[in-house]
A and B are shown apart, each in its own frame.
Chain A
C-alpha cells in the first residue's frame, strides 16, 4: 500500500498541483488582510475538474503555503499576512530592520517546515488510531462532537459569544435548505427547483470569504503606509545548522502546535502565541538579544507553533468529519464536492486516498522548503503588486469557479448574494467562522440528533447517560464559557494585586 500511495503521489499532475498550491498559498498569505481560509477558498474552484487526490494536494499546498507566507510580510513590513503570523512581527521585523531580513525569512521557513513535518508524523500516527476509536462512536457521540466543534469556534470569538451563537444558528438554518434526506420533504426551497439540492457549502464559503473580502477591501483607499515601512530584503547568511541549534524550542513549539491544532476551534493564531510566550518564559537567550528586538528563539517558536497545526487540524477532519478550524471547514467542503465522506470508513475501506493525503502533506512541506529557499525574494515582491489587481483576478476566479461546480448560473447568484451577506456581517462585527462551521456540520448534527432520539424513543437524556457524549458536551459548555471564566479570573487577579499593593 505504501508503494502504491507513493506512486500515486509522484504522478506529475499531483506534483504540479502541490507546487501550484504552495506557490499560490505563499503569494496569498503574503498579502496583508488575506488569510489562509481565503487562499484555500480561492483555489477551491480549480479542484472541481481534478482528481480528488490532486485537488486535495492543491488545497493542502495552499494551506501550508499561506500559513508560512504571512511571515514574509510580518518580517518585511511589520504586518502579519495571516493571524498566525502576528507573533512573528515582534521578532521578525526588528531583525529585518537590523539588515537581517533574509535570515529572518530563512528562520521562519525552516521552523515552519519542521513544525509542519512533525505535525505530519503525528497525523500519520494518531489519525488511524482515532479512527479505530471512532468506529465505536454512535449517534449521541457524533452529535456531541458537532456541538463541541461549534462551541469551540464560538468560544474563541472572545467578547462576541452571543453573536457567535447567532451565526451558528444561521449556519444551521442554511444547512436545512433543500430536501430532508430522512423524509424526502423539501425545506425552504420557496418553490424553486434550484434550491432542492440545498445551498452548497463551497459556494457559501467562496462568497463569504473571497467576494466579501474583495468588497470590504475597497474601503481601504491606498497602500502608501505599506511602502513606507517596507524593509529591504537582504540575502540570508544564517545556516540550517545554526537554526537547528534551537531544537528545544522547535520541539516544544511543535508539541504545542500539534495539541492546539487537534482541538477543534483553535488554529495557528493561538498556537503561535502560546509557543512564543512559552519560549519567552524559558529562553536563556534573553540576555544576548532581548525579546522584542530580534530574538531568534521567539521567531523560531512563533513560526514552528503556527505551522505545526497544519497536520494536526486534519486529525479531527479525516477521522471524525469535524473541521478543526474554518480552513479545514473549507477542506471539508472540498471533500464533499469530490464525493468523499470523512470518517473512520476512510481508514478501513482499503482505499489509499487518506494515506495519499497524509503522506502528501510531507511532500507539501518538502516543496514548501524548496520554494521558500529559492523563491523567497520573488514572493517578497508580491507586496509591491497592487492588491486591487489581485482582487479583480479573484473575482473572475470566483465567478468562474462557482459556475464550474454544477454548470449552473444559479450558483453564481448564490455566490454574489453570500458575498454581500458576508460583507454586511463583517461590517456589523459578526464572527464568520461559527457560521461556516455550522453550515458544514449542520447536516451531520441533524442526522445524528434524529438517530439518537429515535434510539432513545425521544428521550434526550441519552446524551447525558452516554458517558462519552456527556463528557464531550461538558467540555463544549466549558469551551463556550471559557472567555467569561478567563475574564473573571483576570479580574480577581487584578483585585488581589491592587489589594496587596495597598
Chain B
C-alpha cells in the first residue's frame, strides 16, 4: 500500500513539475498579454505574480518528485520486485465515476431542459446508483427538492431555468 502511495506521489509530482515548466514557458506568455510600458521601469506586471507561483510550484514539485522517486526506486525497490512476482489484479471502483457522470449530466441537462426535467431524471438515478431500494426515500428526495425549488423561486425570488 505504501509503495502504491509513493508511486502515485512520484507520478503526480512529476506531472506537476512538467505543468509548472509549461506554465512558466508557455501558458503565462500566451494567456497573459504584456501591457506596453507607459513610463519608466515596470516593477510589477500582470505576469509577475503568476511567474512567482510557477517557480514556487516548480521547486516544490521537483523536491516532491525527487523525494518520492528516491523512496520508490531505491528504498522500496526490493518490495517492488516481490510485488511484481506476486502480481494480483485489483478491481477499480467505478461507482464514483458513474456518480460524477450523473452529476455532470445533471448540470448539462439543467441548462438545456430546465430544473424540473433534469431533477426528475437525474436525482432518482443517483439514488439507484447509490443502491437505495426503499420507495419512501425517493419520495423524501422529491418532497425536499420540491420545497427547495419553491423556496428559491418564490421566497428568494431566484428565477431557475
The residues of A with any CB-CB pair to B shorter than 8 Å are 46, 48-50, 162-163, 165-166, 169-170, 172-173, 176, 180, 182-190, 211, 214-216, 218-219, 221, 386, 388-389, 391-393, 395-397, 399-400, 403-404, 407, 409, 412-413, 415-416, 419-420, 423, 428-429, 446, 449-450, 453-454, 457-458
Q: Which of B71-79, B83-91, B136-144 contacts A (4 or more CB under 8 A)?
A: B136-144
Given contacts A166-B60, A219-B93, A392-B141, contact A173 B115 (CB under 8 A): no
Q: How far is the CB of B137 from chain A (nearest CB, A)?
A: 5
Give Cα A108 to B18, complex, Å. 50
Given contacts A186-B33, A190-B31, A392-B127, contact A458 B43 (CB under 8 A): yes
Task: Report which of A170, A404, A416 forms a contact with B107, defined as CB distance below 8 A.
Answer: A416
Give Cα A291 to B57, complex, Å. 46
Given contacts A214-B99, A218-B130, A413-B107, contact A187 B141 (CB under 8 A): no
Q: Are the CB atoms of A386 and B132 closer together than 8 Å?
A: yes
Give Cα A393 to B67, complex, Å. 43
Q: Are the CB atoms of B145 and A396 closer together than 8 Å?
A: yes
Q: From B53, B123, B141, name the one whose CB has the most chain A CB atoms within 10 angstroms.
A: B53
Q: Is residue B26 within 8 Å, beta carbon to beta carbon, of the partner chain?
A: no
- Chain B, range 41-79, C-beta contacts under 8 Å to A: 41, 43-46, 48-50, 53, 56-57, 60-61, 63-64, 67
Count of residues in B whose CB is under 8 Å from the partner chain: 63
- What are the residues of chain A within 8 A of B33 when measuring CB–CB? 185-186
Give Cα A169 to B48, complex, Å. 14
Residue of B nearest to A388 (CB): B130
Q: How far is the CB of B22 from chain A (nearest CB, A)?
A: 12
Given contacts A183-B35, A186-B33, contact A166 B57 (CB under 8 A): yes
Task: Report which of B32, B43, B67 forms a contact with A457, defined as CB distance below 8 A.
Answer: B43
Q: Are the CB atoms of B123 and A176 closer together than 8 Å?
A: no
Q: Is residue B25 within 8 Å, beta carbon to beta carbon, of the partner chain?
A: no
Given contacts A162-B64, A169-B56, A388-B130, contact A185 B46 (CB under 8 A): yes
Q: Are the CB atoms of B64 and A412 closer together than 8 Å?
A: no
Q: Is residue B117 within 8 Å, beta carbon to beta carbon, of the partner chain?
A: no
- What are the residues of chain B within 8 A of A397 when measuring CB–CB? 148
Q: How many A-B contacts are there with CB distance less than 8 Å?
A: 166
Q: Are the CB atoms of A403 and B44 closer together than 8 Å?
A: no
**A-B pairs with the 10 shortest C-beta distances?**
A49-B156, A388-B130, A409-B111, A169-B57, A458-B43, A180-B46, A185-B46, A450-B44, A218-B99, A404-B158
Q: Are the CB atoms of A176 and B53 closer together than 8 Å?
A: yes
- What are the residues of chain A within 8 A of B111 when measuring CB–CB? 409, 412
The residues of B with any CB-CB pair to A shorter than 8 Å are 5, 8-9, 12, 16, 23, 27, 31-33, 35, 41, 43-46, 48-50, 53, 56-57, 60-61, 63-64, 67, 93, 95-96, 99-100, 103-104, 106-107, 110-111, 115, 119, 123, 126-127, 129-132, 137, 140-141, 144-145, 148-149, 151-152, 155-161
Residue of A nearest to B33 (CB): A185
Known: A48-B156, A412-B110, A413-B107. 18 other contacts (CB 8 A): A173-B53, A185-B33, A187-B31, A187-B46, A189-B31, A218-B99, A218-B129, A388-B137, A389-B140, A396-B119, A397-B148, A399-B110, A400-B160, A409-B161, A416-B107, A419-B100, A450-B44, A458-B43
Give Cα A354 to B119, complex, Å. 39
- What are the residues of chain A within 8 A of B151 when measuring CB–CB? 46
- What are the residues of chain B within 8 A of A185 when measuring CB–CB? 32-33, 35, 46
Give Cα A50 to B158, complex, Å. 11
Given contacts A166-B60, A400-B152, A453-B44, contact A407 B32 (CB under 8 A): no
Judged by DSSP, the binding face of B is helix
Q: Are the CB atoms of B145 and A416 closer together than 8 Å?
A: no
Q: Can you sample 18 A-B contacts with CB below 8 Å? A: A49-B156, A49-B157, A162-B67, A173-B50, A182-B46, A183-B45, A184-B35, A187-B50, A388-B127, A389-B140, A392-B130, A396-B123, A397-B148, A399-B106, A400-B148, A409-B110, A420-B100, A449-B44
- What are the residues of chain B within 8 A of A165 when measuring CB–CB? 56, 60
Judged by DSSP, the binding face of A is helix
- What are the residues of chain B within 8 A of A457 when measuring CB–CB? 43
Give Cα A50 to B151, complex, Å. 12
- What are the residues of chain B within 8 A of A389 when measuring CB–CB? 127, 132, 137, 140-141
Give Cα A400 to B60, complex, Å. 38
Q: Are the CB atoms of A211 and B132 closer together than 8 Å?
A: no
Give Cα A187 to B29, complex, Å. 10
- What are the residues of chain A within 8 A of B129 when measuring CB–CB? 218
Given contacts A165-B60, A388-B132, A396-B148, contact A415 B107 (CB under 8 A): yes
Task: Report which of A46, A182, A395 forms a contact with B103, defined as CB distance below 8 A.
Answer: A395
Given contacts A48-B156, A219-B96, A454-B44, contact A403 B110 (CB under 8 A): yes
- What are the residues of chain A within 8 A of B9 when measuring CB–CB? 428
Q: From B41, B100, B104, B160, name the one whose CB has the most chain A CB atoms within 10 angstroms.
A: B100
Q: How far is the CB of A437 from chain B (nearest CB, A)?
A: 15
Give Cα A29 to B126, complex, Å. 23
Q: Are the CB atoms of A392 and B156 closer together than 8 Å?
A: no
Give Cα A48 to B103, complex, Å. 22
Q: Are the CB atoms of B99 and A48 closer together than 8 Å?
A: no
Given contacts A453-B43, A454-B43, contact A395 B157 (CB under 8 A): no
Q: Are the CB atoms of A162 and B49 closer together than 8 Å?
A: no
- What are the residues of chain A within 8 A of B96 when measuring CB–CB? 215-216, 218-219, 423
Task: Report which of B27, B48, B106 forms a contact with A188, defined as CB distance below 8 A.
Answer: B27
Task: Report which of A48, A188, A215, A386 forms a contact with B137, defined as CB distance below 8 A.
Answer: A386
Q: How far is the CB of B138 from chain A (nearest CB, A)?
A: 9
Given contacts A169-B56, A392-B141, contact A162 B156 (CB under 8 A): no
- What are the residues of chain B within 8 A of A182 when measuring CB–CB? 44, 46
Give Cα A450 to B44, complex, Å. 6
Q: From B46, B63, B149, B152, name the one whose CB has the most chain A CB atoms within 10 angstroms.
A: B46
